[in-house]
Amino acid sequence: MSRTRKAAMLAAAAALLLSACDAGGQGAASGSLEAAGGSANAASPSVAASPSAAASPSAAASPSAAASPAPAEPAASPAPAMSPKPASPREEKKPVPERKRKLPSGFVYVDEVIPTAQYEIRYFTDYNFVGARLDGYNAPYAILTKQAAEALKEAHDFLAPKGYGLKIFDAYRPAKAVRQFVAWSKDASDQRMKEEFYPEVDKAKAFKLGYISSRSGHSRGSTVDLTLFERKTGKEADMGSPFDFFGDISSHGTPEIGKAPAERRALLKRAMELAGFKPYSKEWWHYTLEKEPFPKKYFDFDIE
């Protein structure tokens, strides 16, 4: 065969291949190449073996992608199945009893007046200096006279721009619960909470020392025990000593605490006094409304 004829045949094969590619049919191009001698398919087996290349026209049209394909990312390992963490007794949330709404005239549920405050009604639990739920605490609700609750909201609102809110431990206290305090003080054999709440105090002297009273202002409905919580974290603030701790460290102005807790006590005291409450010198958490509506009446209805 002459060189001229061979050149003509190769030119015809190239034209046929170009025509097949322009038509977009890889199979047609492959068939045309086979008709022209089959050398092209043999030279690029990877194209025929890769279904993804056929399914992705854009990849075929990009020389750079073909020249340096991106390395495949390793498949992510599936996250291991996590067993649920068993709740500790204090983490378990018991259902809250429905409000019976049998309050005497002039009393309110505090969380309905101040829904953004925090509530941890200690005497509904056994985590208190007595070590048992107190009589009359049938539900973990804070109850106060309407005047005291509204004044307390003023203190809560005053603290908000300073980054704090109020956390309430106790409010109205039934007289029957106070009688339980008296019985507790006379039982010398019951020392289960001594280490945590009164390590250096003889419980029989708790009344004489002024830590508890046989007739509590709480039973008049306008006295509250409370602390601060940090709005940013929701955590209870460090006040230098815990709620209901019997000792000099719980007094206002004690030198036994650091600067930061002392400043927080002073802030709480300022907020409460501006709202119309008076403090109790021996307990940084205890405040009574100055103009209480029932200054001489002691109530004994249940909290429920």
13: CB partners within 8 A, 6+ apart: 32, 33, 36, 37
> Is 99 in contact with 141 (CB distance < 8 Å)?
yes
Q: Which residues contact 294 (CB under 8 A, 6 or more apart)?
A: 106, 145, 220, 221, 222
**Amino acid at the residue 154:** E
Q: In what order do the strands lie in the sheet with 164-170?
A: 118-119, 164-170, 223-230, 283-289, 277-280
Instruction: Report the Cα–Cα distance between both ends of the chain, in Å, rounded.
Output: 112
Alpha-carbon distance of 85 to 109, in angstroms, equals: 34
Contact 97, 90 (CB under 8 A): no
Burial readout 260-269 (b: 16 or more C-beta within 10 A, e: otherwise): ebbebbebbb
Catalytic (active site) residue 263: no
Residue 137 carries which DSSP code? B
Q: Which of 112, 283, 292, 304 is catalytic?
A: 283
Q: Is 155:273 a contact under the CB 8 Å cutoff?
A: no
Cα separations in angstroms, 151 against 12, 106, 208, 277: 100, 14, 31, 8
Helix (H) or strand (E) holding 208: none
Residues classed as catalytic: 283
